[in-house]
Amino acid sequence: MDDDSYRHLIATSAASLLAIALVMAITCSLAMRWRKHSIVDVVWGLGFAVVAIVCFVSSSFVTDADDTRRTVIVAMTVLWGLRLATHISIRNRGSEDDPRYRALFRGGEPRLGKAITTVYLPQGVIMWFVSLPVQVAVLHQRGLGVIGVIGIAVWAIGLTFETVGDLQLTRFRADPANKGQVMDHVRWRYTRHPNYFGDACVWWGIFLVAAEHWPGVLTILSPAVMTYLLVAKTGKALLERSMQESKPGYAEYVDRMSGFVPLPPRRSSADERQSERWSA
């Protein structure tokens, strides 16, 4: 990138930040009015789609930006964001506020300042930081190469993995016979969280498209932060704490199944003890 490109990058990044601030301000206003802060989960995917579109528009003023890469990186982000938002919207339709948010605000309706500092400001900052590969990639001046193509493939694997996993879980939950049971077949047989694994792959794929040319490689912390959140914070860790309390047999499922990366199922401790008894 030359000096003009770096100035465009600053402008694109600033425009992205302003767009996120507007999205979060509207979301917070609606959540306070409706007393349902879980709508931010729907807006999470939509926010990334908005950022990608803003980046595309901003980069259109850069005459030497590669149109193919711009279009590809924006399409990857928008498709992922819209799919995620649609899935969560359908899943949460007609339901009460997510227990996570009720617990976060101790069962009551928070004051505006606390809602902003606890939910909307942190999510907005994270959204901007995670989207840095998109902000950078739309300004690259050279076309897609091998690393970019690999990135698209990783993204496609991730999107397929999470889409199919979510569909399988939706169908499982729709069957009354499965009420209170743990989903432990098809993709859920190899990892307890195929949707979170797919999310991580999506953002590592987007990073690879950005990292093919300088300074995209510097955005490596963006997918790393997303993966950390999915594994240790708002994703896997938080969900499993609630599942341990509400789902009988979940502890045994945890014992058998990989926590994140898809792997063949392990023999559970109970199975091993049974095998030892038969051997004796």
Q: What is the pLDDT of residues 89-123, one digit of tens each?
A: 998 887 777 677 777 777 677 889 999 999 999 99
pLDDT band at 250 (very low <50, low <70, confident <90, very high): low
- Tokens at 258, concatenated: 């990989």
pLDDT the model gives residue 273: 44
CA 84/CA 66 separation, integer angstroms: 28
Residue 19 has pLDDT above 70, yes or no: yes
pLDDT the model gives residue 194: 86
List the chain domain ranges. Answer: 1-143, 145-273
The predicted model scores a pTM of 0.88
pLDDT the model gives residue 57: 97
CA 158/CA 196 separation, integer angstroms: 9
Mean pLDDT in the chain? Answer: 86
What per-residue string of b and e applies to 206-242 under the rule 16 or more CB within 10 Å gives b? bbbbbbbbeebeebbebbebbbebbbeebbbeeebee
Tokens 């704490």 map to which residue? Answer: 241
Closest to 129 (Cα-Cα) out of 277, 229, 275:
229
The string of pLDDT tens digits covering residues 160-211 is 999 998 888 888 888 888 776 776 665 667 787 888 999 999 999 999 999 9
Residue 275 has pLDDT above 60, yes or no: no
Residue 254 has pLDDT above 90, yes or no: no
